[in-house]
Structure 1
Amino acid sequence: MLCILKAFDSAVFVMEETARRTSFYNVLIWAKCRGSEFQEARELFGEMRRFCCYPNSNTYNYLLGSLCKDGRIGEACSLVEVMNELGYMPDAITFEIFIFHACRQDRLDFAMEFLNQMISGGLEPRLTTHAAFIKGYFNSNRFQEAYKYVVDMAVKYKYSANVNYSLLASLHHKKGKLLDARDILVLMIEKGLKPNFPVYVKVSKDLYKAGMSHLAVDLKSRFSKLNSG
């Protein structure tokens, strides 16, 4: 609360009266980064160590996320090198930060490099990481690549299949590509994957509204059989 109010001196006073912990410093760093006060955030790293509160991956991720958001990618990459030198290995969120911002800037090849590094390091992409790629491809009108990404990731990471296919269908639906959305849901069902229910309902309703009741009925039948099975 004190950090949100930018009452940093009071926040530090509370720490002095209670305890200095890494988690408390992380809140301070998050707040400083939120206000683009990067130099002050970096100075907190040194203070933490003086009081034997050592940074963790969350500490670095707050600063990395803010640097990337501010367009300071070079500084963010340098900070990752510092992390590695100090023995702090990037985690799934670290990679996601770079992937997310690269995808938003339509630098999908750059984002894929980070994904490959992540996978080669034994880390599994989070659902939000997959979403960044799917939305990135889709927003760049690279629909086939978005589809290929979903298919490939469904093979590698089965846990992501339902969510990724449903997201792709939802994006097609929002763009007015109703038949494409319907085809993706049908494909999901044929693979034994259960579509996101709100997405299924929206596509079904719009098929009826568009005068394609036969396709809506067919989709409903397939969905019902999947549920009964």
Structure 2
Amino acid sequence: MSLLRRYFKEATNSRFLLRSISTINTNPIAPRHRRTTTEFDNLIYEAGSSGDFEAVRRLLNSRVVNACFNTTATFKFLTNTASYSSSLEDLRRVLPQTDPGYTRNHAYETLIARLCKLGRTDDALILIGDMASGRFGLSFRTFHPIINTLTKKNKIEEAWRVVELMRSHEIPVDVTSYNYFLTSHCYDGDVAEASEVVRKMEEEGMSPDTRTFDALVLGACKSGKVEAAMAILRRMEEEGLPVLYATHAHVIAEMIESGYYALGVEFVMAYAGKDKRLDEENLGSLASKLIKRKRFKEAKLVLKEMCVRGLRMGIALRDFYETNVVVKEQ
């Protein structure tokens, strides 16, 4: 022990040790540049556009390892051009070779979403078949872009066939899937079909969510039934569900469209003071619609309220307020 202690004592006092410490490079090694999500998207775009799909595969793998997950721009190189078919076939070839699990599953889901954006739902369903045969983790989320696209295009029968396809793969139909149908029917004001969707949801023991109620409010407004829309809003509040800004916008738009100007102001003021962003959206939207209808008296009252509450106004509303309220009151 004495020998060991003497060794450390001598080493501590050693000029050599002091010189060694003084010559250590105190500059840390520069960290390697970590690519961002946008950089990965750009690299995949370049590789896909040039036909280098092995590079696409490698990039899909490495981006997930680096926590740079796929985005709507990941497969942006895939467009409705002459090279579409060959590019899609190349992707179908390399995607099964990506890392199993989340990497592969998310790559498929991102590509399906891209195909739906291009209006290629038939090809999206082919990829569904690829995932099913390869057992690559199909889920209800995989089908959402397809159902959403078809219902938006009012291809309701085709969308229901997709639902049956989900069931054939033993994938449960979730609330979001039903909401796509409900929103489509409610947008068209088709209360009967909307009621049928709600009935199916209830039969399967599903509880409506915020989007469900938003669609129902939209349907009531499209049918000119403001009272029903208000009743649905009250039920949301009773059940403690958050109300979307868009849900309020449906009601405001219908009230102004129906000429219920005073009621529109009363409705917006009833919710004022709880959420500043909601106040800005509601009061600003109401003021804009009143001005468009040349209901300047009501519009001035709304803009005064926004000013008192310190709410942000758009440029057009600010100009109207300063010209028609501030100047005239001076």
TM-score norm. by structure 2 comes to 0.57
Using a 3 Å threshold, how does the CA distance of structure 1 residues 29 and 168 change in structure 2: closer, same or farther?
same
**Superposed CA offset, 1:43-81 (max 9, x none):** 322321332332222211111112223443212112112
2:315 counterpart residue number: 198
Identity among equivalent positions (%) equals 25
Matching of residue 141 in structure 1 with residue 254 in structure 2: no
Report the AA paired with residue 93 of structure 1.
Answer: R
Matching of residue 168 in structure 1 with residue 282 in structure 2: no
Distance 2:122 2:252 in 1: 43
Deviation of 1:170 (Å) = 1.7
Report the AA paired with residue 124 of structure 2.
Answer: A
Deviation of 1:200 (Å) = 3.5
What are the residue-to-residue correspondences of 1:67-86 with 2, within 5 Å?
67-86=185-204
Distance 1:202 1:55 in 2: 50
Deviation of 1:156 (Å) = 6.0
Matched position secondary structure for 1:3: helix
Deviation of 1:193 (Å) = 3.7
Matched position secondary structure for 2:272: helix
Matching of residue 54 in structure 1 with residue 172 in structure 2: yes
User: Out of 178, 193, 213, which is 2:327 matched to?
Assistant: 213
Distance 1:201 1:71 in 2: 35
The aligned length equals: 212
Q: Decide whether the 8 Å contact of 1:162 with 1:193 is kept in 2.
A: no
What are the residue-to-residue correspondences of 1:1-229 with 2, within 5 Å?
1-4=114-117, 6-18=119-131, 19=136, 20-154=138-272, 160-190=278-308, 192-204=309-321, 206-207=323-324, 213-215=327-329
Q: Decide whether the 8 Å contact of 1:98 with 1:114 is kept in 2.
A: yes
Report the AA paired with residue 202 of structure 1.
Answer: D
Using a 3 Å threshold, how does the CA distance of structure 1 residues 179 and 68 change in structure 2: closer, same or farther?
closer
Q: Decide whether the 8 Å contact of 1:99 with 1:114 is kept in 2.
A: yes
Q: Decide whether the 8 Å contact of 1:64 with 1:97 is kept in 2.
A: yes
Distance 1:137 1:32 in 2: 30
Deviation of 1:205 (Å) = 5.5
Q: Decide whether the 8 Å contact of 1:173 with 1:203 is kept in 2.
A: no
Distance 2:119 2:320 in 1: 46
Q: Decide whether the 8 Å contact of 2:189 with 2:223 is kept in 1.
A: no
Distance 2:118 2:277 in 1: 40
Greater length-normalized contact order (CA 8 Å, ≥ 6 residues apart)? 1
Matched position secondary structure for 1:74: helix
TM-score norm. by structure 1 comes to 0.80
Using a 3 Å threshold, how does the CA distance of structure 1 residues 94 and 206 change in structure 2: closer, same or farther?
same
Deviation of 1:164 (Å) = 1.3
RMSD of aligned Cα (Å): 2.5
Distance 1:70 1:141 in 2: 21
Consecutive unaligned residues of structure 1, counting only runs of 5 or more, are 219-229
Using a 3 Å threshold, how does the CA distance of structure 1 residues 145 and 70 change in structure 2: closer, same or farther?
closer
